[in-house]
């Protein structure tokens, strides 16, 4: 099938293979017709759009030549005198004839404007955002029509991000949304909806202080940038939070972000030698929809036995325990057939076991002083095959151990392209695949493939070890900016 992509590098494809569309100006003819959405563009308008203010003497014949060559590229099997079916004559100009599903920008706009239940909106926005591969029409950035259309599509992208978040909140997914909303509000601080969604998500997680702090940040930015106070809507939201008048969050709904598939629970084993810690974590897990406690253990040997008995999905394992420490227990648990994911808990002293645990293949760390949502985020990330390392652990761990010689360290990151190095830098800073995609203008699925390729290239087990490789190689240094 013939398809066209404008949400990123501009291409036409046939059966998945890119077509040769010729030089920049010839490609611009097809792009301009795509922007018209299937409507005819008069030849004089094409000339003005391609050569604004200074068309050549033979502009008409040049346009006709471009159209002829584009028709051959798009319909190579068409007979010489047969009527074109894709790039058609539509007096007094030309038009692109295609179905919505053949053009990513058309499909994207249809999805963003679609309605439905929260679950349907969530799915629609996920699909829409997955179509983005980079800034729209960037190669035609010197042409005003392309700049205008790129701006319109970018605004639709931001709306899709916000509609997805709104649907997620309606589905009870506040915990999974906060990181993305924080990044969205920081990147677009003048968007009222970005701050509203972030504040509501924080409030729904029980973080009323953080929710009010987000609104204070919005107020400070708007006063500095615009000389304005918060909008009436955000002021009402702030007042409702202070008076605790907001609606209670709905029950959480299982999704691809929340680990287990629909109809199943995520079972977690808690291993810690302190009974008060186990009791606190049990209360957190039992209060979370879709999560259940698989059992408890008071030392490393007991943790291994409980894993074999209960077959949990995730083990929360204290790094320091009697009889058998957390590192040794983690190694033995991960050596079992079809092992569970292991998340280490630490108060973080000077224990070098933290460093070794990453190399052993654990799925990250959480500080014992972390709020409940951090534990839940780590558990869900591990269950989904990802990793979460508390930023405080990452910074202090790397500061303590980066640069030491280790024969298991991958050699200098030879053979990696700049694009893959950019992804690795952001992985090392703790960004999720979605956040990396938003930062680098890549689909989340493509980021996931790059992460897998990095693991294979460096012969590592998981994302946590990628973090270590990035620091050990000097690609990233503690405290440095996460920029490219």
Average pLDDT estimate for 196-214: 91
Predicted confidence band at 375 (pLDDT cuts at 50, 70, 90)?
confident
Predicted confidence band at 259 (pLDDT cuts at 50, 70, 90)?
very low
Average pLDDT estimate for 13-26: 92
Please list, residue by residue across 55-85, b when 16 or more beta carbons sit within 10 angstroms of its beta carbon and e when fewer do.
Answer: beeebeebbeebbebbbebbbeeeeeeeebe
User: What angle do the packed helices 144-170 and 174-187 form, to 10 degrees?
Assistant: 150
Q: Does pLDDT of 160 surpass 60?
A: yes
* Residue 281, in any domain of the structure: yes
Predicted confidence band at 483 (pLDDT cuts at 50, 70, 90)?
very low
In this prediction, residue 357 carries a pLDDT of 66
Parallel, antiparallel or unpaired: strands 341-346 and 364-367:
parallel
Predicted confidence band at 248 (pLDDT cuts at 50, 70, 90)?
low
The domain boundary, picked from 386, 401, 416, lies at 401
In this prediction, residue 260 carries a pLDDT of 40
Looking at the 3D structure of the chain, how many domains does it have?
3
* Residue 252, in any domain of the structure: no
The domain boundary, picked from 100, 127, 160, lies at 100
The domain boundary, picked from 204, 225, 242, lies at 242
Q: Does pLDDT of 27 surpass 60?
A: yes
Distance (Å, rounded) from C-alpha 251 to C-alpha 235?
Answer: 27
Predicted confidence band at 462 (pLDDT cuts at 50, 70, 90)?
low
Q: Does pLDDT of 98 surpass 80?
A: yes
In this prediction, residue 276 carries a pLDDT of 85
Whether residue 227 sits in one domain with residue 330? no
Average pLDDT estimate for 400-408: 46
Whether residue 120 sits in one domain with residue 36? no
Average pLDDT estimate for 127-140: 90
In this prediction, residue 252 carries a pLDDT of 41
Whether residue 351 sits in one domain with residue 225? no
**Which carries the bigger pLDDT value, residue 460 or residue 261?**
460
* Residue 253, in any domain of the structure: no
In this prediction, residue 377 carries a pLDDT of 79
Average pLDDT estimate for 138-142: 88
In this prediction, residue 389 carries a pLDDT of 61
Which structural domain, as residue segments, surrounds residue 134?
Answer: 107-242
Whether residue 77 sits in one domain with residue 138? no
| pLDDT tens per residue, range 66-96 | 999 999 999 998 887 889 999 999 888 999 9
Predicted confidence band at 284 (pLDDT cuts at 50, 70, 90)?
confident
Q: Does pLDDT of 212 surpass 90?
A: yes
In this prediction, residue 247 carries a pLDDT of 65
Q: Does pLDDT of 108 surpass 80?
A: yes
| Out of 237-246, 345-354, 390-399, least confident range | 390-399
Whether residue 148 sits in one domain with residue 54? no
Q: Does pLDDT of 154 surpass 80?
A: yes
Average pLDDT estimate for 240-262: 54
* Residue 82, in any domain of the structure: yes
In this prediction, residue 473 carries a pLDDT of 72
| Out of 72-86, 454-468, 469-483, least confident range | 469-483
Whether residue 386 sits in one domain with residue 313? yes
Distance (Å, rounded) from C-alpha 146 to C-alpha 163?
Answer: 25
Whether residue 116 sits in one domain with residue 95? no
* Average pLDDT of the chain to the nearest whole number: 82
In this prediction, residue 352 carries a pLDDT of 53
Which CATH number belongs to the domain containing residue 204 in this structure?
1.25.40.10
* Residue 256, in any domain of the structure: no
**Which carries the bigger pLDDT value, residue 145 or residue 80?**
145
Which CATH number belongs to the domain containing residue 55 in this structure?
1.10.10.10
Rounded percentage of the chain residues whose pLDDT exceeds 90? 41
Whether residue 159 sits in one domain with residue 228? yes
Predicted confidence band at 400 (pLDDT cuts at 50, 70, 90)?
low
Whether residue 117 sits in one domain with residue 96? no
In this prediction, residue 162 carries a pLDDT of 95
Handedness of CA 292, 297, 300, 303 (dihedral sign): negative
Average pLDDT estimate for 229-245: 88
In this prediction, residue 397 carries a pLDDT of 52
CA end-to-end distance (rounded Å), the chain: 36
Predicted confidence band at 478 (pLDDT cuts at 50, 70, 90)?
very low
**Which carries the bigger pLDDT value, residue 217 or residue 395?**
217
Whether 382 and 388 have beta carbons less than 8 Å apart is answered as yes
* Residue 323, in any domain of the structure: yes
Whether residue 236 sits in one domain with residue 132? yes
Q: Does pLDDT of 440 surpass 50?
A: yes
* Residue 409, in any domain of the structure: no
Q: Does pLDDT of 141 surpass 90?
A: no
| pLDDT tens per residue, range 39-51 | 999 999 999 999 9
**Which carries the bigger pLDDT value, residue 293 or residue 368?**
293
* Residue 482, in any domain of the structure: no
In this prediction, residue 140 carries a pLDDT of 92
Whether residue 231 sits in one domain with residue 277? no
Whether residue 345 sits in one domain with residue 328? yes
Residue 482's closest CA among 417, 426, 435?
426
Parallel, antiparallel or unpaired: strands 93-96 and 266-271:
unpaired
Which CATH number belongs to the domain containing residue 393 in this structure?
3.40.50.2300
């Amino acid at each position: 099938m013939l398809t066209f992509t404008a949400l990123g590098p501009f291409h036409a494809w046939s059966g998945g293979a890119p077509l040769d569309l010729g030089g920049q100006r010839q490609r611009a003819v097809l792009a301009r017709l795509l922007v018209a959405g299937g409507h005819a563009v008069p030849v004089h308008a094409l000339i003005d759009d391609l050569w604004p203010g200074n068309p050549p003497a033979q502009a008409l014949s040049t346009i006709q030549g471009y159209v002829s060559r584009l028709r051959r590229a798009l319909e190579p099997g068409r007979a010489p005198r047969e009527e074109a079916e894709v790039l058609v004559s539509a007096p007094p100009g030309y038009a692109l004839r295609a179905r919505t599903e053949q053009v990513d920008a058309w499909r994207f706009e249809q999805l963003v404007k679609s309605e439905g239940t929260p679950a349907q909106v969530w799915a629609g926005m996920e699909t829409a955002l997955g179509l983005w591969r980079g800034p729209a029409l960037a190669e035609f950035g010197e042409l005003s029509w392309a700049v205008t259309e790129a701006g319109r599509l970018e605004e639709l992208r931001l709306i899709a991000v916000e509609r997805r978040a709104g649907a997620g909140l309606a589905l009870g997914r506040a915990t999974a949304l906060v990181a993305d909303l924080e990044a969205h509000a920081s990147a677009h601080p003048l968007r009222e909806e970005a701050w509203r969604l972030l504040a509501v998500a924080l409030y729904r997680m029980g973080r009323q202080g953080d929710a009010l702090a987000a609104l204070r940040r919005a107020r400070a930015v708007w006063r500095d940038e615009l000389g304005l106070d918060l909008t009436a809507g955000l002021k009402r939201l702030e007042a409702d939070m202070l008076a605790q008048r907001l609606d209670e969050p709905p029950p959480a709904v299982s999704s691809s972000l929340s680990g287990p598939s629909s109809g199943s629970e995520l079972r977690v084993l808690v291993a810690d030698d302190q009974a008060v810690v186990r009791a606190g974590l049990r209360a957190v897990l039992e209060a979370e929809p879709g999560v259940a406690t698989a059992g408890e253990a008071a030392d490393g040997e007991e943790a291994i036995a409980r894993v074999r008995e209960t077959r949990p999905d995730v083990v929360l394992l204290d790094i320091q325990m009697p009889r058998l420490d957390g590192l040794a227990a983690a190694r033995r648990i991960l050596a079992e057939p079809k092992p569970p994911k292991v998340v280490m808990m630490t108060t973080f002293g000077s224990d070098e076991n933290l460093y070794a645990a990453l190399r052993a293949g654990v799925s990250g760390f959480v500080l014992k002083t972390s709020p409940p949502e951090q534990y839940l985020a780590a558990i869900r990330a591990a269950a989904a095959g990802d990793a979460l390392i508390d930023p405080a652990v990452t910074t202090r761990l790397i500061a303590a151990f980066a640069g030491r010689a280790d024969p298991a360290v991958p050699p200098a990151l030879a053979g990696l392209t700049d694009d893959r190095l950019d992804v690795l830098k952001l992985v090392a800073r703790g960004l999720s695949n979605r956040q990396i995609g938003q930062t680098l203008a890549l689909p989340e699925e493509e980021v996931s493939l790059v992460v897998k390729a990095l693991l294979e290239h460096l012969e590592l087990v998981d994302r946590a070890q990628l973090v270590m490789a990035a620091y050990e190689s000097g690609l990233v240094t503690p405290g440095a900016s996460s920029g490219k």
